[in-house]
Amino acid sequence: LLPTDLQPSGALLEKEAALFSEREPAAPGLLQRLRSLALQLLEKLRQKRDARFEAELAREEEAFPDALSPEEEALLGELSPEQPEGAAGLPAEAARKPALLRSLQKLPAQAGILLEKLGQKQAVHPAAEKAEPAAEQPASGQEARPVAREEPVSGREEADFSHINQLVEHPALQPRELIPAEPAPQKKSRPLWWVLGIGALLLLLGLGAGLLWYKEPLRSFERAYSAGDYAQALNVYSQRIRGDAEKAAAVQAQLEAEAALIYGEYLRESSSREEAEAALQRLSNFPFVDDCRVEYLAQIEAMEASRLAFAQMEEAMSRGEYTEVIALAEQVLPEDGNHAAALSLREQAVEAQSEFMLQQARSLLELGNYDEAFAKITAAEEQLGALPQFESARADAYQYINNQALDEAAAMAAQNNYSAALSRLQKAAEYLGEEHSSQELLHKIDVYISYIPVSLLELSYESMDCREDDQLYRSYHLTDNQGSSYSSSISMSAGSVTYALNGKYRSLSGVVGFPAEASSTALAPSARLEIYGDGALIWSSGEISAAVSPQNLWVDVQPYEKISLKWVCTGLGLWNSWGYYATLFSPSLQPVPLE
């Protein structure tokens, strides 16, 4: 039934009583300590019900409940120091140690009553512990019982009970004694006139200080200005403040701060333009802040223009006038509350306008107007700025030109018109330049070239074997004896010429015939053309004279690194210089195709 914080102490008390119940002889020192411990527990319970220890209860509220439980009330009643009716004194059996200790084991129900009685008895007979106890008179009808004599406790027994001493001396079990309050010292009375004098002096000092504060120039200026008496405020400034640089600066700062506040409320749209201008007009009564006032009036004017520009931006955006939106965005001031919205509208307009102009450029590209398409992209870049989409559009235009040229050339090549296909690609490459021509386009140019025959005259000969006075004729004769005309020809008075083909060409073709300009004689009747591949004869025209018709030439030259053309004269002439009788008209080499 003990409170939670006292249960360990009560349990230890019962345990110690049980341990020492078997010890003999009785130990008065031990009994005194046990009694003291029980009284400590009793005092703790009394303190919980005593209202005079509220402060102490507040500090120990975690250890004790706010009020006694019914069980604690019953325990406190059982441990009451009052003796029950009919109890004249301590029974004789209580003087014996085993019996007393057995009673202590019944704590907290009976231990308090027994120990309280023992305490009362010792209070009546203070010397009872030193003298031998007398036999207690038996009650009527009862026999007298001898009282056990308390023997002094030896040093060894004291050492055995040291843990009981520790329990009794624990700070939580120490009784707290009430400290009587000292009487409050009596204050000496002072004469009433002395108190009244001090009060009057303080009142006069306060009135003087208040009057000085009220008459202070800055306060006077503030009162006149707040009351709207600007003439009086200017008068106070001119007569009492202007000469004091510090106070004059304070007044100027105050008025400039008010002007800034007026402009700030206008920016937050807490006041209209008219209200802000009227409020700033009040400051015109003070010339020393005219610069500040005029500046804020100008800012209000600029802000009105900025707000008007934003309203016009919204209208232009709804109409799709993106160029106008972009131009008006520059007129919206950064301090305008609409500035963020204006930037957002401008971004939308730039995006829409750039897409519109790029679409125009793509249409021009499809029509083949490349110059106009690039001019449109450049104009968009100048108007809207160097945006990433413009650089991307320019790269797309170059790629479009490449792809368009390749597609058209492929269609021409499919019809074996390699010359036209080659011309189309070469034109595109010339327009794009090396920087913007794709690798595929450049490769296709080489491919189509490989399909186009090459005039033998376009090649440089590697060597020529002839006499010193012999001549090589290049396109000298362009008509044969049948009247056919040719664009080129090759012949020689006598001797041979060698070309390095290096396996790049598949065939040599042309027409071998007697030139119309020549005439044969009996001494120089004919000539023949022989073709050698890497030194071996691979073709011969036979005897060509004025009476022989022209003949076609086609020779497979792909296996050979070099070919030689040799003109041989026949007849009885001494000089042998009419090899041109066998002129090769339109000599053409067919390249080996790359694909």
Residue reference for tokens 């069980």: 71
Residue type, 357: M
Write down the residue that tokens 């004769």 correspond to: 477
Q: Taking Cα atoms as reference points, which of 16, 52, 40 lies closest to residue 174?
A: 40
187 is written with which tokens? Answer: 């204050």
pLDDT tens-digit readout, 379-413: 999 988 888 999 999 999 999 999 999 999 999 99
The residue ranking higher by pLDDT, 489 or 87, is 489
81-89 average pLDDT score = 41
Rounded to whole angstroms, the Cα distance separating 200 from 271 reads 52
**pLDDT at site 94:** 38
Identity of residue 437: S
Q: Which two tokens stand for residue 507?
A: 């065939």
Q: Is a pLDDT exceeding 60 seen at residue 338?
A: yes
Q: Tell me what pLDDT residue 29 has.
A: 61
In angstroms, the Cα distances linking 370 to 257, 345, 384, 398, 399 are: 63, 33, 21, 9, 12
Average pLDDT over every residue of 552-580: 88
Q: What confidence category does residue 470 fall into, taking pLDDT thresholds of 50, 70 and 90?
A: confident
Share of the chain above pLDDT 70, in %: 64
Q: Are strands 472-474 and 562-570 parallel, antiparallel or unpaired?
A: unpaired
Tell me the C-alpha distance between 476 and 517, whole Å.
10
Share of the chain above pLDDT 90, in %: 42
CB 530 within 8 A of CB 495: no
Question: Other C-beta atoms within 10 Å of 288: how many?
Answer: 15
Task: Please state, rounded to an integer, the average pLDDT across all residues of the chain.
Answer: 77
C-beta separation of 510 from 585 below 8 A: yes
- Give, in order, the Cα–Cα distances in Å from 390 to each of 324, 370, 409, 524: 20, 16, 29, 76
Residue 365 has pLDDT above 80, yes or no: yes
Q: Is residue 489 within 8 Å of 581, Cβ to Cβ?
A: no
The CA-based diameter of the chain, rounded to the nearest angstrom, is 200
At 233 the pLDDT is: 86
Is the model more confident about 184 or about 593? 593
| Predicted pLDDT of residue 554 | 95
Which of 35, 44, 37 lies closest to 116, judged by CA? 35
Q: What is the pLDDT of residue 70?
A: 64
- Structure tokens of 323? 């160029």
Inform me whether the pLDDT recorded for 220 exceeds 90.
no
- Contact between 341 and 310 under an 8 Å Cβ cutoff? The reply is yes
pLDDT digits (tens, 9 = 90+) for 120-179: 544 444 443 443 434 344 443 444 444 334 444 444 334 344 444 444 444 544 444 434
Above 90 in pLDDT, residue 236?
Answer: no
